[in-house]
Amino acid sequence: MDAAILIPFLLIIGLAVGSFLNVCIYRIPIGKSIIRPGSFCPLCKKPITWYDNIPIISYVLLGGRCRWCKEAISLRYPIVESLTGALFTLFFYYLVIKTGEHLEVYVIYTLLGCALIVSSFIDMELYIIPNEITYAGMVSAPLFSLLFPSLHHSTDNLRVFNLLGSVRLDALAASLLGILIGGGLVLVFGVLGTLLLRKEAMGMGDVKLMAMVGGIMGWKPAVVIFFLAPFFALVVAIPLLFLGKGRTIPYAPFLSLATLVSIPLHEPFVRFLDSRLYLFSELLRELL
Ligand SMILES: [Zn+2]
């Protein structure tokens, strides 16, 4: 199919999936089914008809208010829908059209993007990252890697494991190492930060979130993402501190933002990391 047809098609699918992610953001933390019943207004409990449930368009037509009780609908709804629509189309453009990645790599990265959107918005509202998402991610990452080893080709996570001799086993090992290093980095820095600041610096939710990211992306991008996220956090934290509101800042949105940016752009970052690792190994060789 032509990209001119595919991109608008993926945008529509993305907007619809975004609408579903909104349901997940609302229902997963309160332990309600994400399938049944259909959408309803949280205040007056009236069911939302299909024509009031069209992504973005319905929000605009209703003036951001419930048709029945006129309660304001959270701006989160159109924001999540737009972000998911952008995710579906931009990833397709960068990964499939521009980089020529396999279709399954696009699908898996897009799934990861959806998991990160849901985790980030729940974290922003409730300061938790649901285990339902991170555990599912940590289990599916090695499975996806075994089934679709091309997931780890472009990021060169495999070099260490050429010993195993099987592309599938190499990809599985790359995923497991990604889980270990992704989660491990957050854990180690979280413990150090807690000791230094004398208050919890990073939660176990962040550890599991980065383990999930590492399992899909591999260890090198996980390292890049871990060191990229604080830059995004600083941009937000500094103004909040000046406003005197910087008590607790959810960290999942910054890890997610760093991941979403790194998916299309990781190559120069990974190359930079490789050159540092090379210098480090040369230094070690000199010293030994
Ligand atoms: Zn209502």
Separation between Cα atoms, residue 214 and residue 225, nearest integer Å: 9
Going from the Cα of 59 to the center of ligand 1, the distance in angstroms, rounded, reads 13
For residue 45, how far is its CA from the centre of ligand 1 (angstroms)? 6
Ligand 1 centroid to 75 CA: how many Å?
15
Rounded Cα distance, 232 and 222, in Å = 16
Whole-number Å distance between alpha carbons of 228 and 44: 43
Nearest by Cα to 77 from 14, 8, 11, 20: 20
Buried b (16+ CB within 10 A) or exposed e, 148-174: bbebbbbbbbbeebeeeeeeeebbbbb
CA 70 to centroid of ligand 1, rounded, Å = 6
User: Distance from the CA of 133 to the center of ligand 1, in angstroms?
Assistant: 29
Q: Is the peptide bond before 37 cis (omega within 30 degrees of 0)?
A: yes
What's the 253 CA to ligand 1 centre distance in angstroms? 29
Distance (Å, rounded) from C-alpha 41 to C-alpha 220? Answer: 44
Classify 213 as helix, strand or coil. Answer: helix
Ligand 1 centroid to residue 120 C-alpha, Å: 26
Distance 63 CA to ligand 1 centre (A): 13
pLDDT at res. 77: 95
* C-beta atoms surrounding 236 within 10 Å: 14
CA 38 to ligand 1 center in whole angstroms:
14
Instruction: Tell me how far the alpha carbon of residue 42 lies from the centroid of ligand 1, in angstroms.
Output: 7
Kindly report the pTM of this predicted structure: 0.91
Q: What is the pLDDT of residue 152?
A: 86
* Tens digit of each residue's pLDDT, the chain (288 residues): 677 889 999 999 999 999 999 999 999 999 988 888 888 888 898 999 999 999 999 999 999 999 999 999 999 999 999 999 999 999 999 999 988 888 999 999 999 999 999 999 999 999 999 999 999 999 999 999 999 998 987 655 555 556 667 888 889 999 999 999 999 999 999 888 888 877 776 789 999 999 999 999 999 899 999 999 999 988 887 777 777 665 678 889 999 999 999 988 777 777 877 888 888 888 888 887
Would you list the domain boundaries of the chain? 1-100, 107-288
